[in-house]
Structure 1
Amino acid sequence: MQLKNNNAITAYAVFLLQLINWAAARRGFGPGEQDWNYVEVRKGAHLFYWLHYTTANVSSFYERPLVIWLQGGPGVASTGCGCFEQLGPIDIEGQPRASNWVQHMNVLFIDSPVGTGFSYVDSYNEYAVNNKQIALDLVTLMSDFLRSHPEFQRVPLHIFSESYGGKMAPEFALELHLAQQRGEVQCQLKSVVVGNPFISPVDTILSYAPYMLQLGIVDHDGFKNISRVASEFSRLIYTGELGMAVIQNIKLQHLIEQIIGNFVFYNTQWRTHEDDDHRYGEGPKLSEFMINNVTKALNLTDMTKWEARNVAVYDELGSDIVKPAVHIVTRLLDETPLRVGVYSGVLDLICATPGTVNWINRMSWRGKQKYVDAIRQPFRSDGYLEGYEKQGGNFSMFWVLRAGHMVQQDNPAAMSHILREFTNYG
């Protein structure tokens, strides 16, 4: 009799969990349960999130962690580039993606900064003007999200990001941790992981010329011309002429295009046609897909038109774009218990791996000696070498083979290894 009662209680508890799941979830676009909403993070500034509950075979969504995904640009939409070009359950052809994150965990796509993707502002005065403001806006969104989805307050939380999102994520993680310490937010933040991050613009840009020379992309004349312009960018940064440094960076991009022609900055080994136009997270095909399909499915047709990349977001950040955020990574390692990870596709130029390695080597934190003493190890998937990893002092670095800027898109097997390392999918 007691066994029957216990079985009945267990069955009832599972049923209640399912009811909680169903009450929170909605049908959106693509497989699985979803939820989405706007949060007014400041007066006139509205961030949009799109939650994909895991499609894993579990009795409750909350058995699996919650991963936040932040895109780069700044101004490229997570709901487009991230969800449909890289890690969501389906691609922009409407076909299932064999390696997607939702099959393992809950994924929260956030269009950040305000004005990106589905996010919008009431006027230009509400655009973010620095990384700190972006971080605080994200904390406000998460505070609202966790109040409306209280079950996730007890679920392990991880922040993953890419490119300029890799600059936003560390400060967001720091501010979220501080808000948690003050009792303003309840969450279980465990790690922040940044992919091909634009954390130290000087190191990134000074690495361009030697990286391209070593790969045979430029000759010595090209090397000297690119080095000269990159050195001037470095000088402007160190003399505090940040506005001029932004302009110099644009000049450098144009110079590289003139020297090497129609070349993909995001993967040096992509085979491209002379008529191809590769841009990060944008393009007419993605825009048409989002506007004609996703906007309708989420019933957002009366909202601001979805944009693959909002140039105004970039412009309003101005000189803050070229400021480094290495000190924020240091604070995370010195002042919080969070794990910090960096992964870098070695075929990327725009945030080239040598530049990333350089700022990591110079970075100083209390656990650095453990990292220095650690031996870099290969990691494999099904016996195939996918990259190398080095871990110590709460910090991890992953060198990913056969991948450029978009690691999940280029080498999903390596990305799965990194995901498991930080989340264990549970």
Structure 2
Amino acid sequence: MNKFFHSVTLFVLLLGLLFHGGMVKSLKSHDGSEEWGYVQVRPKAHMFWWLYKSPYRVEDPSKPWPIILWLQGGPGASGVGIGNFEEVGPLDTFLNPRNNTWLKKADLLFVDNPVGTGYSFVEDSKLFVKTDEEAAADLTTLLIEIFNRDDRLQKSPLFIVAESYGGKFAVTLGLSALKAIEDKKLKLVIGVMDHLYKLFSPEDYVFSWGPLLKDVSHIDDNGLRKSKIIAKRIKRQLQNGKFVDATNSWSELESVISARLLAADFYNFLVDAGSDSVTSSIMELGLFREISMKRYSNYLNSVSSRSTLDGDLGELLDGPIRIKLKIIPQNVSWGGQSSEVFAFLEGDFMKPRINEVNELLAKGVNVTVYNGQVDLICSTKGTEAWLRKLRWEGLHNFLRKDRTPLFCGSDIKTKGFFKSYKNLNFYWILGAGHFVPSDQPCVALDMVGTITQSPAA
């Protein structure tokens, strides 16, 4: 850590207060390569963001340099922490350079969303969001405050990239941002509104778990029968509008399956749960103790397995990173409010967002879905099921298309498959679990370069 602390002393920090309907408090590095701060998205509701400007930027008028907005899942998981230091940011949790950082293809904007997540905070618990639409409204306010004051940012196409529950935030944000652009409230260029990662129809995932695990011998006929009983109950609850009950049944089904999976991880069914990995180090944070019965809220417990190579994320964010940032309030601990974020959204958790995907496709927005082969919580089988429910006019032709194999660098092994028709794209990533950029960093970086059409790709 000493090297990092030494580098911090070299920062010349500029503090600015700008008013555009909300308050922006931001700091910059001396060379302008990083900027971070808070946006008051509503009175007493503060959202933290961190923007990295790529050192690999290529100026090409025909292909403007893109910006990726990363949305973490959970709901209640920190993009500033997990997406940044565990998956795609410039540094890993030991503050060493990441070879496959997505900065090679785009600028990166990380946000702790919704308010109450990570470094974001509310001054009154009544201000937590209760729906994906409310979260999208806050994110749209944040984009307005950041982009409208920076002419350079406005020239770069924005690509909304999401993981897990972040996919639900992405589609609602996509529609909200488009409307703000149409109303001339938001000044930016929308690129490919994705990667929309998975969680659009929870019903389709719960029905996929049992058959998938039976196919790979993780459960037997008895386990399959029990999983189907609970999945059918979830379907009835959703049909009757009992969304909180459906969320509780989702947790029950996870518990039933987990008991039969024994050591297998819900986020990668080929690895051991709780092994010596980031999974175990994140587990020690205890961010979801208050609702430990809701296993999906333990999203932070299963960040991809990078074994002994990872440092402690909680100590990093509440230690040297907090010191570097300088503007985190003393009473805000990183990630400390994540359980509350999940609890307030439990009534919206199980609601599908397939209609929103239909709307984006109908508007001509490029939608890309990517899935890890050995993910269970958001299985490929479930993703393919909800894709077939789309009412998009091009669906039939998309389904008829053949897949193209994907390779990476000089490696002759197939790393995945790709299919595309008009503005719908799908990536199947082999050997990856829930955390695709961490499990398969090379092919994930290539995928990002293709989708963003980065001049560096």
TM-score normalized by the length of structure 1: 0.89
Alignment correspondent of 1:291: 318
What is the aligned counterpart of 1:332 among 360, 363, 367? 360
Write the deviation string for residues 196-215 of structure 1: whole angstroms up to 9, x where unpaired: 42110100111000011111
2:301 & 2:257 partners in 1: Cα distance?
21
Distance 1:266 1:65, change over 3 A: same
Alignment pair present for 1:48 and 2:76: no
3-state SS of paired residue (1:372): helix
Alignment pair present for 1:26 and 2:28: yes
Alignment correspondent of 2:345: 317
Alignment correspondent of 1:7: none
**How far has the Cα of 1:174 moved from its partner?**
1.1
Write the deviation string for residues 386-425 of structure 1: whole angstroms up to 9, x where unpaired: 1111111310111110101000000112212221221122
3-state SS of paired residue (1:193): coil
Alignment correspondent of 1:18: none
| Percent identity of paired positions between Structure 1 and Structure 2 | 29
Alignment pair present for 1:362 and 2:383: no
**How far has the Cα of 1:359 moved from its partner?**
0.6
Alignment pair present for 1:281 and 2:309: no
Distance 1:274 1:85, change over 3 A: closer
For 2:170, the aligned partner's letter is A
For 2:427, the aligned partner's letter is F
RMSD: 2.4
Alignment correspondent of 1:350: 377
**How far has the Cα of 1:176 moved from its partner?**
0.5
Does structure 1 conserve the Cα–Cα contact (< 8 Å) formed by 2:404 and 2:418? Answer: yes
**How far has the Cα of 1:25 moved from its partner?**
8.0
Alignment pair present for 1:220 and 2:221: yes
What is the aligned counterpart of 1:376 among 389, 400, 403? 403
Does structure 1 conserve the Cα–Cα contact (< 8 Å) formed by 2:119 and 2:328? Answer: no
2:364 & 2:183 partners in 1: Cα distance?
16
Write the deviation string for residues 142-194 of structure 1: whole angstroms up to 9, x where unpaired: 00001232211111111101000011101101110111111111111011223
For 2:73, the aligned partner's letter is G
3-state SS of paired residue (1:148): coil
2:130 & 2:57 partners in 1: Cα distance?
43
**How far has the Cα of 1:256 moved from its partner?**
1.6
1:274 & 1:164 partners in 2: Cα distance?
24
Alignment pair present for 1:96 and 2:97: yes
Deviates most, 82-91 or 374-383: 374-383
Alignment correspondent of 1:73: 74
Q: Which runs of 5+ in 2 are unaligned?
A: 1-15, 17-25, 284-297, 303-310
Does structure 1 conserve the Cα–Cα contact (< 8 Å) formed by 2:167 and 2:198? Answer: yes
Alignment pair present for 1:108 and 2:127: no
2:438 & 2:93 partners in 1: Cα distance?
13
Alignment pair present for 1:421 and 2:440: no
**How far has the Cα of 1:377 moved from its partner?**
1.6
1:40 & 1:25 partners in 2: Cα distance?
15
Q: How does 1:171-186 map to 2 (within 5 A)?
A: 171-186=172-187
Higher gyration radius (CA): 1
2:262 & 2:162 partners in 1: Cα distance?
29
2:250 & 2:273 partners in 1: Cα distance?
24
**How far has the Cα of 1:372 moved from its partner?**
2.9
| Corresponding residue pairs, total | 401
Write the deviation string for residues 2-34 of structure 1: whole angstroms up to 9, x where unpaired: xxxxxxxxxxxxxxxxxxxxx998329xx9820
Task: Indicate the structure with greater helix content.
Answer: 1
Q: Which runs of 5+ in 1 are unaligned?
A: 1-22
1:281 & 1:64 partners in 2: Cα distance?
32
